[in-house]
């Protein structure tokens, strides 16, 4: 893939007898957002841990920004950002101290944490100890931490899990900004709406295997049923007609439905990513 | 990288209960020992004298050995110093005191004793004062007291407790601080956040080890200074403390790598601390067979500190023991690395991975 930021081939990992990740292959381009979509325990976080050098794969190869992982771990990690699922910031330090410490590990001199803290709406609490922060504030601080080295590749593990809508919106906007400046973004989520909104492509992952990888639109076109639902009232009786748009005579069915009485509502329907996931995996995303 | 992690840990020190505890230990232990034993090295009874009449007792008192004598001009000053506990006892010699004694007139002698002075000091000073006065008398004493030293001529128990003070200070800072810091980073997962930067586990372990060693040196030196026990060879004493601090920090790194949480760490400390502390028992009770003390690794820095501080030894005298301490420090390094790999295995979720993944720095 031209401009490939991440190339994974045949990645596998087992915890004892349990196969957590099974022969995963994936390509991610620079500037692309790829969502790993799957229920808890599907293997998303284990995959991220291998990609970030926290786990050594049992088999398979990982190439990130042209370097093999974990052999070139240090070189890769200098250009990588990671936002963990756990809120693992230093509680006894302030946001400013947290960011300055991590900036120093990346060798960044004269790091000014205020612009990024302003971006995540933490400027007003920048000098307060993190132990006084809410869950959402910690999550935003972790997001800010993952961006201090302006990474070329960003791994985000459930970045908006448990956040309020405003905080989620802030994080999503940041993710889009990173992709817009050319960073590859790999995020895990079990939130189908987040995956749909953010991802250029989604990868369905279940029981350690990738079931499908494509754009949300293509997945919906290929696997979901598009339909128009028309509710009408005729002689006081309310009726509902669903016209599948993929039927050969859909146009005729629509014409008949439109003339069947006084139309109350018309809705278009398309499959959600969850519907498609269920079709692939035989289970839901929240299972 | 090591310096950056160390600076972060040092900046977090004042916010860490374990670090604060380690820094307070020398003061608390010294204070506690002074209450129990009356100080390690200020064991001489302190006598104050106000001589209002140029008495010969004053001249004789100045020649006394084993008693610290202070001469003052005014009885009120003397009384105040005794009341404040700065002197154990005070003696006021009135004008013409010597003449009255010689004429058997039985003059009044004011002898003040401090309320918080040690009973042993009171007895010593009381007898000494009477003996000084007796020499002024023209009448022969009805008895002649013969003083004979009996029993063990060795050091006082309070002095023999010095290695206990030192090991407590050095071990708590050297072992507990790096172990607790490492465990906290593991349990809070901040270690994972550090390890996805260019920093390696090796950097983290070296930084934590340095943190423990620096604090252990600091607390060891503080303990000796607080007890006026730095000895006449400060460089050699500092070298012994440094070797002890390194040894303790290495043990701290192993403990921190192995223990999954602080509860396990404290349980291990309670059970295993005797292995570090037992050599001091042989200093406290010198009649025990001394060869057993040499089985403990801490003996090889504690005994040199004791010899340098108490017995007036020189660097040359303690060099063989310090060399063994250095060898122990070096021998512990492979063990530390082994425990580091154990930690690494736990971090990656499975011990099945024998090849390190996080130590390419």
CB contact under 8 Å between B190 and A93, yes or no, is: no
Any idea where the domains of chain A sit in the sequence?
Answer: 4-221, 225-269
Kindly state whether A104 is in contact with chain B, defined as any CB-CB distance less than 8 angstroms: yes
Handedness of CA B340, B344, B350, B353 (dihedral sign): negative
Q: What is the distance in angstroms between the Cα of B188 and the nearest Cα belonging to chain A?
A: 6
Considering only alpha carbons, which residue of chain A is nearest residue B7? A101
The CATH number of the structural domain formed by B46-134 is 3.40.1710.10
Query: Which two three-digit tokens encode residue A259?
Result: 């003339």
ipTM of this complex: 0.82
B298 CB neighbour count, 10 Å cutoff: 25
**DSSP symbol at B292:** G
Chain B neighbors of A16, CB-CB under 8 A: 350
Partner B, chain A 232-271, Cβ-Cβ below 8 Å: none
> How many angstroms separate the CA atoms of B238 and A182, rounded?
56
> How many angstroms separate the CA atoms of A256 and B326, rounded?
95
Please state the length of chain A. Answer: 287
Domain A4-221 matching CATH 3.40.50.300: the answer reads yes
**Closest partner CB to A88 (pick from B12, B192, B361):** B192
**Closest partner CB to B357 (pick from A53, A91, A105):** A53
Please state the length of chain B. Answer: 361
CB contact under 8 Å between B348 and A104, yes or no, is: no
Angle B17-37/B201-226 helices, nearest 10 degrees? 20
B25 CB neighbour count, 10 Å cutoff: 21
Decide: B158 and B37 in contact? Cβ < 8 Å. Answer: yes
CB contact under 8 Å between A86 and B353, yes or no, is: no
**Closest partner CB to B189 (pick from A15, A52, A84):** A84
Kindly state whether A109 is in contact with chain B, defined as any CB-CB distance less than 8 angstroms: no
Query: Which two three-digit tokens encode residue B164?
Result: 């206990």
CB contact under 8 Å between B195 and A93, yes or no, is: no
Helix (H) or strand (E) holding B39, with range, is: none
Partner B, chain A 28-47, Cβ-Cβ below 8 Å: none
Partner B, chain A 125-184, Cβ-Cβ below 8 Å: 145
> How many angstroms separate the CA atoms of A263 and A270, rounded?
21
Q: Which residues pair with A67 in a beta bridge?
A: A64
**Closest partner CB to A90 (pick from B190, B198, B348):** B190
Residue A276, CA distances (Å) to A219, A280, B356 in order: 7, 6, 40
3-state secondary structure of A21: strand
To probe the interface with A, which of B14, B197, B359 has the most A CB atoms within 10 Å? B197
Query: What is the count of residue pairs from A and B with beta carbons less than 8 Å apart?
Result: 77
pLDDT given at position B353 = 41
CB contact under 8 Å between B198 and A104, yes or no, is: no
Residue of A201, A164, A196 lying closest to A186 (CA atoms): A201
Per-residue pLDDT of chain B (361 residues; tens, 9 = 90+): 899 999 998 888 778 888 888 888 888 888 777 776 655 555 678 889 998 888 888 888 888 877 888 899 998 999 898 888 888 888 888 888 888 888 877 777 888 888 766 666 777 777 787 777 777 765 666 555 555 544 444 566 777 778 888 888 899 899 999 999 999 999 888 999 999 999 999 999 999 999 999 999 999 998 888 887 777 788 999 999 999 999 999 999 999 999 989 999 999 988 888 888 889 888 888 888 889 989 999 999 999 998 888 777 889 999 999 999 999 999 999 999 999 888 887 776 543 443 334 433 3
Longest Cα–Cα distance in chain A: 77
> How many angstroms separate the CA atoms of B229 and B166, rounded?
11
Helix (H) or strand (E) holding A279, with range, is: helix A273-281
Q: Which residues pair with A29 in a beta bridge?
A: A4
Any idea where the domains of chain B sit in the sequence?
Answer: 2-37+156-347, 46-134
């Amino acid at each position: 893939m031209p401009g490939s930021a991440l190339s994974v081939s045949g990645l596998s990992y087992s915890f004892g007898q349990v196969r957590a990740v099974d022969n995963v292959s994936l390509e991610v381009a620079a500037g692309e957002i790829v969502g790993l979509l799957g229920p808890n325990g599907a293997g998303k976080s284990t995959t991220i841990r291998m990609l970030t050098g926290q786990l050594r794969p049992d088999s398979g190869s990982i190439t990130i920004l042209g370097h093999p992982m974990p052999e070139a771990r240090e070189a890769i990690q200098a250009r990588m950002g990671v936002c963990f699922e756990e809120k693992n910031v230093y509680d006894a330090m302030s946001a400013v101290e947290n960011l300055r410490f991590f900036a120093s590990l990346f060798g960044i001199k004269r790091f000014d944490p205020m612009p990024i803290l302003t971006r995540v709406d933490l400027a007003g609490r920048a000098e307060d100890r993190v132990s006084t922060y809410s869950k959402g504030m910690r999550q935003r601080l972790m997001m800010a931490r993952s961006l201090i080295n302006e990474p070329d590749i960003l791994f985000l593990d459930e970045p908006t899990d448990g956040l309020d809508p405003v905080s989620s919106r802030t994080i999503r906007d940041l993710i889009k900004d990173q992709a817009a400046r050319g960073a590859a973004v790999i995020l895990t989520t079990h939130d189908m709406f987040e995956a749909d909104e953010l991802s250029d492509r989604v990868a369905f992952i279940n029981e350690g295997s990738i079931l499908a990888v494509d754009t949300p639109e293509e997945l919906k076109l290929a696997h979901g049923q598009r339909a128009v639902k028309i509710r009408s009232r005729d002689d006081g009786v309310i009726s509902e007609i669903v016209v599948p748009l993929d039927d050969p005579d859909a146009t005729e069915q629509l014409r008949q439905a439109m003339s069947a009485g006084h139309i109350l509502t018309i809705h278009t329907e398309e499959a959600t990513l969850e519907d498609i996931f269920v079709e692939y995996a035989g289970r839901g995303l929240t299972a | 990288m090591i310096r950056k992690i160390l600076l972060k840990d040092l900046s977090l020190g004042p916010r860490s209960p374990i670090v604060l505890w380690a820094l307070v230990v020398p003061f608390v232990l010294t204070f506690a020992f002074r209450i129990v034993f009356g100080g390690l090295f200020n064991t001489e009874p302190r006598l104050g004298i106000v001589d209002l009449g140029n008495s010969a007792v004053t001249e004789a008192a100045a020649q006394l050995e084993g008693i610290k004598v202070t001469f003052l001009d005014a009885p009120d000053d003397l009384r105040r110093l005794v009341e404040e506990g700065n002197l154990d006892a005070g003696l006021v010699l009135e004008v013409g005191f010597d003449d009255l004694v010689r004429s058997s007139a039985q003059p009044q002698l004011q002898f003040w004793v401090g309320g918080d002075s040690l009973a042993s000091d009171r007895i010593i000073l009381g007898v000494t004062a009477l003996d000084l006065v007796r020499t002024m008398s023209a009448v022969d004493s009805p008895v002649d007291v013969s003083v004979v030293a009996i029993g063990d001529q060795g050091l006082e128990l309070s002095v023999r407790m010095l290695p206990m003070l030192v090991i407590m200070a050095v071990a708590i800072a050297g072992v507990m601080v790096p172990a607790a810091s490492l465990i906290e980073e593991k349990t809070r997962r901040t270690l994972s956040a550090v390890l996805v930067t260019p920093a390696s586990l090796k950097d983290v372990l070296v930084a934590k080890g340095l943190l423990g060693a620096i604090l252990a040196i600091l607390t060891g030196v503080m303990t000796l200074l607080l007890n006026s026990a730095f000895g006449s060879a400060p460089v050699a004493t500092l070298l012994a403390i440094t070797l002890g601090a390194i040894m303790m920090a290495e043990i701290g790194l192993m403990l921190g790598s192995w223990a999954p949480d602080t509860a396990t760490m404290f349980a291990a400390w309670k059970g295993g601390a005797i292995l570090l502390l037992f050599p001091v028992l042989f200093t406290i009770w010198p009649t025990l067979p001394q060869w057993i003390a040499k089985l403990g690794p801490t003996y090889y820095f504690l005994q040199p500190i004791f010899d340098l501080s108490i017995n007036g030894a020189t660097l040359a005298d303690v060099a063989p023991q310090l060399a063994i301490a250095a060898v122990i420090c070096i021998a512990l390094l492979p063990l530390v690395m082994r425990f580091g790999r154990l930690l690494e295995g736990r971090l990656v979720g499975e011990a099945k991975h024998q090849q390190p993944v996080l130590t390419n720095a």
